[in-house]
Amino acid sequence: MPLKIIEIPSSRLAEYESIPISFEVRTIFDLELPEGGLGGIHFHERPVPPYIKDYDALGPPSSWLAEFDVTNWAFFLAQEGQLPVGAAAVAWNTGGVNMLEGRSDLSVLWDIRVAPAYRHKGVGKKLFEHSAAWSKARGCAQVKIETQNINVNACRFYAALGAWLGDIRRFAYRHEPSVAHEVQLNWYLEL
């Protein structure tokens, strides 16, 4: 069956969050900063003992409704027939969302997820492209995407789709003990 992507209202976030976002971490990017950063930044991929990372453990999609005004957000489902196999959320023009940097010409790919059996089959790419097209239609010049140094596959995915690494925030999560060791990597896609 062909894959279709539909926009859904926030009232269907339970269906959205039924798609797992967890993945197995086997390698991470270590950052080396020669001369305290004056010598550039070097990424080195390093194997780690495998563990499961689940972004929903910090708050599932349904929790966004209590935290943000999602009026200007888009929620997409990728379906094969009636089966949800992927999802994406895009934030735009929303006060209180620091990732938007106070810009009306920037959207944030807030979340993207693909069911494990459908990963590496083009579902994520179609959701990414659909999210970018939605953003461009609203006058955005860029899409911003946050990930971490522990999500090597996501970093490669965004780079392969034309995004550029724009921000490296080594201490972004220092107040969250469970993720304080992670480095925030923000990617930007020019539209």
Q: Report in angstroms the alpha-carbon separations of 85 from 13, 153, 161.
A: 14, 19, 20
Rounded to whole angstroms, how far apart are CA atoms 22 and 104? 31
1: pLDDT strictly greater than 80: no
Sheet with 184-190, strands from edge to edge, namely 3-8, 74-80, 83-92, 106-114, 142-148, 184-190, 164-169
Q: How many CA atoms lie within 13 A of 38 on its CB side?
A: 2
pTM: 0.95
> Is CATH 3.40.630.30 the classification given to domain 3-190?
yes
Give the domain ranges of the chain.
Answer: 3-190
Mind listing the pLDDT tens digit for each residue in 37-67? Answer: 999 999 999 999 999 999 999 899 999 999 9
What residue has token string 């690494």? Answer: 165
